Amino acid sequence: MRHFDHLAPEVRKDLFHSEPGEFGPQSELPTLAVALGATLYSPATRPGLAGDILRQRARGVVSMVLCLEDSIADQEVAEAERNLIRQLIELSTAGATPPLLFIRVREPEQIGGLARRLGPALRLLSGFVLPKFTEDRGLPFLEALTEAEVAHGRRLLAMPVLESPELLHLETRAETLAGIARAVAKYRERVLALRLGVTDFCAAYGLRRAPDMTAYDVQLVASVIADVVNVLGRADDSGLTITGPVWEYFRPHERMFKPQLRRSPFAGPADALRTALIAHDLDGLLRELELDRANGLQGKTCIHPSHVAPVHALSVVSHEEYSDARDILRSVRDGGGVLRSAYTNKMNEAKPHRAWAERTLRRAEVFGVAREDVGFVELLAASVGKPA
Question: What is the pLDDT tens value at each position of the chain, 388 positions in all?
Answer: 999 999 999 999 999 999 999 999 999 999 999 999 999 999 999 999 999 999 999 999 999 999 999 999 999 999 999 999 999 999 999 998 899 999 999 999 999 999 999 999 999 999 999 999 999 999 999 999 999 999 999 999 999 999 999 999 999 999 999 999 999 999 999 999 999 999 999 998 999 888 889 999 999 999 999 999 999 999 988 899 999 999 988 765 444 445 555 555 655 555 655 555 544 557 889 999 999 999 999 999 999 999 999 999 999 999 999 999 999 999 999 888 888 888 888 889 889 999 999 999 999 999 999 999 999 889 998 988 644 4
pTM of the predicted protein model: 0.91
CB 159 within 8 A of CB 105: no
Beta-strand relationship, 157-162 and 125-130: parallel
Type of residue found at 146: T
Considering only CA atoms, which of 21, 24, 195, 192 is closest in space to residue 123?
24
DSSP H helices in the chain: 9-15, 29-35, 49-58, 77-93, 109-118, 135-152, 165-168, 170-186, 198-203, 219-232, 271-279, 282-294, 308-313, 319-333, 350-367, 376-384
Cα–Cα distances (Å) from 293 to 14, 26, 229, 342, in that order, read 26, 26, 12, 23
CB 175 within 8 A of CB 227: no
Cα–Cα distances (Å) from 46 to 39, 40, 89, in that order, read 17, 14, 15
First-to-final CA distance of the chain: 26
Beta-strand relationship, 63-67 and 38-43: parallel
Cα–Cα distances (Å) from 182 to 138, 163, 241, 246, in that order, read 11, 17, 16, 26
C-alpha 289/C-alpha 205 separation (Å) is: 24
Considering only CA atoms, which of 148, 230, 229 is closest in space to residue 190?
148
C-alpha 131/C-alpha 200 separation (Å) is: 11
CB 370 within 8 A of CB 319: yes
All structural domains of the chain? 24-313 (3.20.20.60), 319-367 (no CATH)
